[in-house]
Amino acid sequence: MRDIGVVIGTRPEAIKMMPVIRSFEEAGLKPKIFVTGQHRELLSPILSELNLAATENLDLMEDDQSLGDLSSRILKNMQSALRRHRPDLLLVQGDTTSAAMSALTAFYEDIRVAHIEAGLRTFNPRNPFPEEMNRRLVACLADIHFAPTAQAEENLLKEGIESDHIHVVGNTVVDALFYSRDHLVSRLSRDFQLQEAMDLGRSIVLVTGHRRESFGADLASICEGIRKIADEFKDQVEVIYPVHLNPNVQSGVLPILSSAPNVRLTRPLSYLRFIQVMLHSKLIITDSGGVQEEAAALGIPVLVTRRTCERLEAVDAGISQLVGPDAEEIFNAAEELLTNESVYLKRAVPSLVFGDGHASRRIVKVLLKEE
């Protein structure tokens, strides 16, 4: 199998696919990279930062685009791209609309599909929305399933996927994290605003929040919890919140948090800058799956502001806590971690539950055996 196609639609996909692409290159192969542009403003900088050059950029994102419109455009344009390049296999990652529709297109074109980060489930079809159904759809279409954990493998087996089609490899986000931490972050130029925050001697609370199912009342509640943390710990905590560019996020966050003097609302940070801030953080509050995995590998306690979670391995390991979009739950959990050192130290233990940094090489090894 010498001709590999790789789909990248969002910033997290770029991060998680980067070490896979590099592992192919180490093996003497150059994958074709198909960029859908699902996250246009966030995706271009990360492609440049990670030195990933698109074979084709479909540039499909439009303002206020519905999921149906995006899906139909991916199907049509990916079909044309696959007919032009005809890879032996198409690699898709995760649970985005780009991943699901690209896998469906490859199925229509009789091109084999491999799914990276396969088997994650909440078992709630609408939470996260639309990701839960996207990844279930990809599972039906994929020929090869790269599960990050034993639990993900078990989920796939229960859905009838044959065991010899599943490979437990770890999550490639840990590969990217360890490489970036050890080789790239130190090369960053100084960011004076962030450096000022990190030099104050206060505990850094890093926040992210962008999921579609949280728009509206849930996001407002999350922000109320963060505001209470900032107010109650105004001399001890500095909150750094890179705010997603989506207007639904901006309109939920800014009215509640912009007036707090110890809350720094920034534009989305570059990947390496985000890792730099994460390495200085005492606590992370997030709805991001990738951030949960990164924090687990680094041993940084996480509060997960979602109603459901497909990464319970981190909860079982004690690093993550599912608090939901509930202001009081968020504050109470943060207060305990910020005031009880013994509880904090029990939680702040690095874990390899999501991988050891070698998932990408395992993936490439499996695929090269497919020849």
Catalytic residue chosen out of the listed positions 49, 56, 95, 175: 95
Please tell me whether residue 166 adopts helix, strand or coil conformation.
strand
Catalytic residue chosen out of the listed positions 22, 244, 306, 361: 244
Using alpha carbons, select from 309, 304, 312, 318 the residue that is nearest to residue 347. Answer: 318
Using alpha carbons, select from 291, 308, 309 the residue that is nearest to residue 300. Answer: 291
Catalytic residue chosen out of the listed positions 11, 39, 115, 210: 210
Q: H-helix or E-strand containing 68?
A: helix 67-85
Please tell me whether residue 168 adopts helix, strand or coil conformation.
strand
Residue-by-residue DSSP string for 179-244: HIIIIIGGGPPP-HHHHHHHHSSSEEEEE----GGGTTHHHHHHHHHHHHHHHHTTTTEEEEEE--
Q: How far is CA 33 from the centre of its chain?
A: 19
Q: Residue 210 catalytic?
A: yes
Supply 20's token pair.
């896979």
Q: Residue 335 catalytic?
A: no
Q: Residue 211 catalytic?
A: no
Catalytic residue chosen out of the listed positions 84, 86, 165, 212: 212
Q: Residue 39 catalytic?
A: no
Residues 6+ apart with CB under 8 A from 50: 14, 15, 18, 271
Q: Residue 88 catalytic?
A: no
Task: Kindly provide the residue ranges of all beta strands, DSSP E only, lying in the chain, ordered along the sequence.
Answer: 4-8, 32-35, 56-57, 89-93, 112-116, 144-147, 166-168, 203-207, 237-242, 263-266, 281-286, 302-304, 320-322
Catalytic residue chosen out of the listed positions 13, 49, 56, 131: 131
Instruction: Let me know the angle formed at the C-alpha of 63 by 61 and 68, rounded to the nearest 5 degrees.
Output: 65
Catalytic residue chosen out of the listed positions 49, 117, 218, 310: 117
Q: Residue 244 catalytic?
A: yes
> Which residue do the tokens 């799914």 mark?
115
Catalytic residues: 95, 117, 131, 210, 212, 244
